[in-house]
Structure formats: C-alpha cells, structure tokens
C-alpha cells in the first residue's frame, strides 16, 4: 500500500484509535499521513460509506481521491470528501422539511433555491441600487461592486462566526474608533442586509449565510439529523482545522462525540482564510479535547536557509529573536527594474536560464504576488510566451467584464434584443466586431460602426448602406461577415432563452471557420462560462423575481457590466498547462497546499504584501467569534494584525519551498510611486542594497 517510508510519528498517528490531534508546520507530513490514515481504515475493512473527510478547499479533494485510487483499495464511490460549506449546503437541501419553518422561511413547503456567489451578488445589487439612488453610502469611497461584496461578507462572516445580524452590525459600530461618518455607513449596511435577508426568507433562497446559519443553529442540533450522522459516519478526518470557521468547528465538536475515531490535523502557522472567517485560535481547543496528541516536527520540504529567511522577517515584524544564520543562502538572487514592465522583462530570461541550464522543471516554479491586476497578468503572459516557458494562472475570483470577449458576447446579446433597452457604446461594438471576425482590425471595425451602428435605436443598418468605396476599403469579405452577423442577430431576437442564445451565437456562428479559421479556445471557454452562468440565473429567475426574458437578460448583462465578480472564473487563452509555471497571489498559492522548488516573490517591495483589504463595511477581525464583542479596533490593532499576517504568510511560503527564493522588484509601483514595503525592508540584510 505504501511506496515510501513513514516516520515513527506518522506510523503511530495513522493507526491511532479514538480521537487524536496532529500538530505540525506545513511540510511535516501531516496531510500525507492523513491520506494514509484513510487508506488504513479502508484496508481494515471499514466501508467507504462510513468515512467523512473534511478539507479546507474543495480542490484538495483530488489528492485524497488519487491516493485511494492508486492504492487499489475499493470500492470507494461512497467516500465523502468535502468542505464544511459544501456539506452544509447539501444537508440543508436534503433535510429542508425539518428546518425550513423553524428557520423563519415564509413558505417552508417551497423547495429552496441555492444562490451561487454570482447570484447572491446579483440579488444584493438589486437590493442596494435603490438605496444608492436615495443617498445611502454617500461619501463612501467604494465602487458599487465593492459595497455589494462587503455586504455579503458581513452576512457570511456573521453566520460562520455564529453571530446574529444584530450582533454583527453592533460589533462593528461599537468597536469603530474613527470618523463618525462610518457609523452612518454601517447603519446603511444594516438596512441593506436586512432587506436582502427578508427577500431570501420570503422566497426560499439560500445564500451561503443562510445555509450556514440554518445548518449550524437548526440542523446540527436536530435529533433526526444527529441520528442520521451517528448511524452513517463512524470515522471523521479533518485536515487543516485551523482553516475551519467557528461554525465548522462547532460541527466537528458535535460530531466527534458520536464517531468511533476522529483525527484532527492542525497546520501550525496556518489560518490563511481568516478573511473568510477561519478561526485558528478557536481550533486550539481540540488538542485538549482529544485522547491523543501527535507533534510532527520533521520537515520534509523546506531547508535551514529558508527557515532563516522567514525568521528574519518574523524578527523584524514581531520583534522575536529567531536564528537567522544562513538566510542569505535562501535567496537565489534579486531581479530589479525601475518599472514593472522592466522587472518582468528581466525576470523571464532569468527563469529561462534556471530551467534550461539548472534543470529546474517549470512545474516546480511559482511566481507569487500580493495581487495580480490585468496589466501584470498581461506583462507576465507576454514575457513567458516570448521565453517559451509554459505557465498558468491560478485565479480564485475575477471580474468577467475585464475580459474583452465577455464584453463582446454581451454586446451581441444586447444588440440582438433591442427591446431590453441596453445600449452598447460605439467602442463596445467596434471591439466586439474585431474580436468576432478574424483579421478585422480595430480601425476598420470602427469604420463599420461609424456608418452602420445606430446607437439610439440599438440596431445595425444593413451593409448595403455602406458606400462602395468604403466597402472596398474595409474589405468586401469582412463586410459580408458583418452582414451575416447582423442578420443572425435580427433573426434570433426572441427565439432562444438567454443561455441557448449564447450557446448558438458561438457554436452556430462565431466559431465557424469563416469567422475564426483556427479553433477559438478562448472563445469556447468564454462561451462555456457565460452559458453556465446564464443557465443558473434562468433556473433561479422566478425565485429572484425575474419573470420575463427581458428581466433575466437585463439582470445578467447589468450584473457583469457593474463589475460583479465570479468565484468560478473562465479559463482564458490556451488550456492551462499543468506542467507550467504557476502564477498566483500569495493567499491563492498558500491555500493550494502545494510545494515547489523555486518561488519568485514578485513586487517584493510592494506595500500589498503587508496590506489588509479595505473593508469599511465588514471587518473580518472584529467579527471573529474569539474577539471580545465591544473591544475597540484601534490603529495599533490594525498595525499588529498586518505584521502578524505577513509573518505567517512568509513562514507559510518558505515551508512550501524546497530550494530557494528569487526576489523580483520594481522601484516604482503601477501608480509611479516609489516602493519600500515592510517585506523589502525586512529582507535588507540578505538582499543587499
């Protein structure tokens, strides 16, 4: 069953009975041992149906399934590997009749509609829009999309921390020590989230906050539900309990008293999902509640120099005195440039040399940044392509309107349905034409639009309206394709539901060789994402109060155009190369749980490494269950939290690196301001300069 040798601690932990608590830093073999614990139970004859594995991220599920598959043990189709949020959603839907009435839903006999994050944003957008028109959130320097996302964050954090809406709002009001205008904004937030919650309760809509609240306060305590879990699950395995929320920890606490064995794994120094209500402090209690405790101290990943690098940063930020001898050996070099484009241009050949001359596999390189805006993604993609280095972006959330093809597809959708009264700009139509017709450059596309697009009427004139001389200048073959597109849009008005329209637009027209001679992989990915998103909206439309095709289409286009983000972004460009260089934000990388040989810390002097997201309507730390409800949130608290988070981030990164760190930095940030952030200053003794 094993093709590697286990340590004594791993062997003892894998076969332990009763309840056990495993503690160790990243790279000490805890997850590997937990996978072997799972195989041990299956090999001992335990049916897969009786095992429950809770992971921090749904993407971690694949590693456990791969381990079981490769072991040859089976069958395991009934094996339950999931996250707390996903399990809560499934269980609330399954046991809906038991809890709907007591949870306050107006029509408990109506089956629930689960709102994805995309749909929850859309509903909140329609809730907030009238309030904005009336002056709510005035003087608050946030885009409407940011207001929407922070209001949802307040709802979700309240539920995940076991707080009522009253408690969550009151906490933020009484702990605020800044300008008084913020209190008015928080009262506006209270009004908005209450309106949102009432719509959900009246229409049996389940956003994440209601899923968690119903599961945590109603279902987990219900005798029938408890009987179901007690009869089914005999063994509980929890990985990364420090990333669990108080609600998730409450679920584990309730269940571990009924299972034959419970194994709880804690990643020391973790807790990267604190912005999503993770409670690493609250998870410490499980050690004293377990019969056995195992400390994993042998690190199989990092090196002494890399540990010294993280010690150097921690000493600077947290005023500790950890050993830093050898830290200079942990840094493989520094790539510098005055501007970001110069930094990236110099980084690509350095990586190329490391791959070609030192033999570092590209899948053992990760480029890690505090954030990745569109300009930086473009610079990296172009530079790596030119260096012929495969790569892929790891994206957790994105704003679809930033993708030109999304804007193009929505432009055609609006033009095909002029009765929706959505008026694309001339620029949008010209951009859509150049993206939809291969070889039609933006200048000639603009000529077509200037002559044929009547914006006020939201329609295209027939191409026969073009003067012959202008038609020849544009190109007769392009004019013919524009006319074919126009005729298709006119003919499709009212023929299809929104998702079917988008599917047919691409597959029946824009993917054809006369429009795109080569397979349009980016277009296919965009089409797939748009169709799936439109299908989810159409299926939930009635519950959302969208009763006509025009209402559905308008909501769909407006939501994307307003910048609402998706937690399920489309794959753009060529399919991601699993053997390519990973490009990710720091939190995105840490939450994958993967290790690589070489890490590039991009924009190492940027303040973003130390920054906390600006969330005036939803303070994740004030809403933490473990914090006193009336303890003020001061500037000192904010400063200390920034230092603590950066220290943990660097410790987590070095614990997931086997060789060394390459620093990449630009003197000036994207706004042209000189950079000298805390991470850059902390590394000064080893980076030089």
Could you please report the per-residue DSSP string of 321-370?
A: ----TTHHHHEEEEEEESSHHHHHHHHHHHHHHHHHTS---GGGEEEEES
Q: Are both 8-89+222-296 and 304-399+575-687 of the same fold?
A: yes
pLDDT, tens digit, 9 for 90 and up, residues 17-49: 899 999 999 999 999 999 999 999 999 999 999
Residue 365's Cβ-side half-sphere holds a number of Cα atoms within 13 Å equal to: 28
Q: Residue 476 has which token pair?
A: 């007769």
Distance between CA atoms of residues 21 and 239, nearest Å? 11
DSSP letter string, 182-203: HHHHHHHHHHHHHHHHHHHHHH
Core vs surface per residue 384-394: b (16+ CB within 10 A) or e: beebebbbbbb
Distance between CA atoms of residues 581 and 569, nearest Å? 19
The pTM score is 0.90
DSSP symbol at 575: P
Compute φ and ψ for 22, nearest 5 degrees.
-110, 125
For residue 75, whether the previous peptide bond is cis, meaning omega lies within 30 degrees of 0, is yes
pLDDT, tens digit, 9 for 90 and up, residues 43-74: 999 999 999 999 999 999 999 999 999 988 87
Read off the pLDDT band of 523 (50, 70, 90).
confident
**Residue 124: CB partners within 8 Å, gap ≥ 6?**
148, 151, 152, 192, 196
Name residue 22's beta-bridge partners. Answer: 265, 294
Q: Are 592 and 59 in contact (CB under 8 A)?
A: yes
Read off the pLDDT band of 1 (50, 70, 90).
very low
Compute φ and ψ for 138, nearest 5 degrees.
-65, 145
pLDDT at 155: 97
What percentage of the chain reaches a pLDDT higher than 90? Answer: 81
Where helices occur in 453-497 by DSSP H, the ranges are 468-474, 476-492
**Residue 104: CB partners within 8 Å, gap ≥ 6?**
201
Distance between CA atoms of residues 114 and 224, nearest Å? 23
Average pLDDT on 195-203 reads: 95
CATH number listed for the domain at residues 304-399+575-687: 3.40.50.300
Which of 62-76, 274-288, 375-389, 557-571 is least confident? 557-571
Q: Are 250 and 131 in contact (CB under 8 A)?
A: no
pLDDT at 395: 77
Q: Which residue has the higher pLDDT, 76 or 459?
A: 459
Query: Domain ranges in the chain?
Result: 8-89+222-296, 115-205, 304-399+575-687, 400-561
**Residue 14: CB partners within 8 Å, gap ≥ 6?**
6, 33, 36, 37, 40
Instruction: Look over the chain and give the mean of its residue pLDDT values, rounded to a whole number.
Output: 92
CATH superfamily assigned to domain 8-89+222-296: P-loop containing nucleotide triphosphate hydrolases (3.40.50.300)
- Reported residue count of the chain is 689
């Amino acid at each position: 069953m094993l093709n590697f040798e286990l340590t004594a601690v791993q062997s003892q932990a894998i076969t332990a009975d009763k309840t056990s608590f495993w503690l160790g830093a990243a790279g000490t073999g805890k997850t590997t041992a937990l996978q072997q614990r799972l195989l041990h139970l299956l090999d001992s004859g335990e049916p897969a149906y009786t095992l429950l594995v809770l992971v921090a991220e749904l993407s971690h599920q694949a590693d456990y399934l791969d381990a079981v598959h490769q072991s040859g043990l089976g069958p395991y189709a009934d094996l339950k590997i999931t996250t707390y949020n996903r399990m809560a959603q499934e269980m609330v839907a399954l046991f809906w009749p038991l809890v709907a009435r007591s949870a306050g839903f107006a029509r408990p006999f109506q089956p629930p509609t689960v709102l994805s994050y995309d749909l929850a944003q859309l509903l909140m957008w329609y809730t907030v829009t009238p309030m904005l028109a009336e002056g709510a959130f005035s003087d608050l320097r946030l885009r409407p999309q940011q207001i929407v996302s922070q209001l949802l964050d307040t709802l979700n954090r309240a539920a995940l921390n076991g707080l009522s809406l009253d408690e969550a709002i009151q906490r933020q009001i009484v702990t605020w020590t800044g300008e008084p205008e913020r209190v008015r904004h928080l009262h506006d937030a209270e009004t908005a989230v209450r309106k949102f919650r009432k719509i959900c309760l009246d229409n049996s809509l389940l956003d994440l906050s209601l899923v968690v609240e119903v599961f945590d306060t109603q279902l987990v305590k219900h005798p029938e539900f408890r009987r179901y879990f007690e009869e089914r699950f005999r063994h509980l395995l929890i990985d990364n309990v420090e990333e669990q929320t108080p609600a998730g920890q409450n679920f584990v606490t309730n269940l571990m008293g009924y299972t034959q064995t419970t194994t709880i794994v804690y990643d020391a120094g973790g807790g990267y999902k604190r912005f999503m209500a993770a409670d690493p402090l609250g998870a410490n209690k499980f050690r004293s509640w377990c019969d056995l405790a195992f400390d994993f101290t042998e690190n199989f990943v990092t090196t002494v120099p890399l540990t010294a690098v993280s010690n150097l940063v921690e000493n600077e930020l947290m005023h500790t005195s950890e050993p830093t001898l050898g830290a200079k050996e942990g840094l493989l070099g520094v790539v510098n440039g005055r501007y970001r484009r110069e930094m990236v241009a110099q980084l690509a050949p350095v990586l190329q040399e490391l791959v070609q001359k030192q033999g570092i596999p590209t899948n053992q390189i990760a480029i890690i940044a505090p954030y990745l805006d569109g300009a930086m993604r473009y610079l990296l993609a172009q530079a790596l392509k030119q260096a012929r280095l495969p790569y892929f972006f790891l994206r957790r959330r994105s704003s679809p309107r930033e993708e030109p093809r999304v804007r193009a597809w929505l432009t055609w959708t609006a033009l095909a349905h002029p009765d929706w009264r959505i008026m694309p700009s001339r620029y949008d139509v010209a951009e859509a034409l150049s993206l939809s017709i291969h070889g039609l450059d933006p200048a000639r596309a603009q000529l077509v639009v200037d002559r044929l697009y009547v914006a006020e009427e939201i329609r295209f004139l027939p191409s026969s309206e073009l003067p012959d001389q202008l038609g020849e200048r544009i190109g007769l073959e392009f004019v013919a394709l524009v006319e074919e597109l126009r005729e298709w849009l006119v003919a499709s008005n009212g023929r299809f539901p929104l998702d079917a329209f988008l599917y047919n637009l691409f597959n029946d027209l824009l993917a054809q060789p006369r429009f795109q001679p080569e397979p349009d992989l980016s277009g296919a990915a965009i089409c797939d994402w748009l169709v799936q998103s439109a299908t989810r909206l159409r299926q939930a439309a009635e519950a959302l109060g969208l009763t006509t095709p025009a209402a559905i289409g308008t909501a769909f286009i407006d939501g994307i155009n307003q910048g609402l983000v998706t937690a399920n972004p489309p794959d753009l460009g060529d399919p991601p190369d699993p053997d390519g260089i990973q490009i990710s934000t720091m939190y995105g990388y840490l939450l994958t749980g993967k290790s690589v040989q070489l890490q590039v810390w991009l924009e190492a002097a940027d303040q973003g490494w130390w920054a906390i997201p600006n969330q005036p309507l939803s303070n994740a730390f004030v809403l933490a269950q473990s914090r006193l409800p009336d303890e003020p949130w001061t500037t000192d608290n904010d400063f200390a939290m920034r230092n603590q988070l950066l220290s943990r981030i660097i410790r987590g990164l070095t614990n997931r690196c086997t060789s060394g760190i390459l620093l990449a930095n630009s003197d000036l940030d994207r706004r042209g301001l000189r950079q000298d952030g805390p991470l850059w200053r902390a590394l000064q003794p080893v980076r030089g300069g």
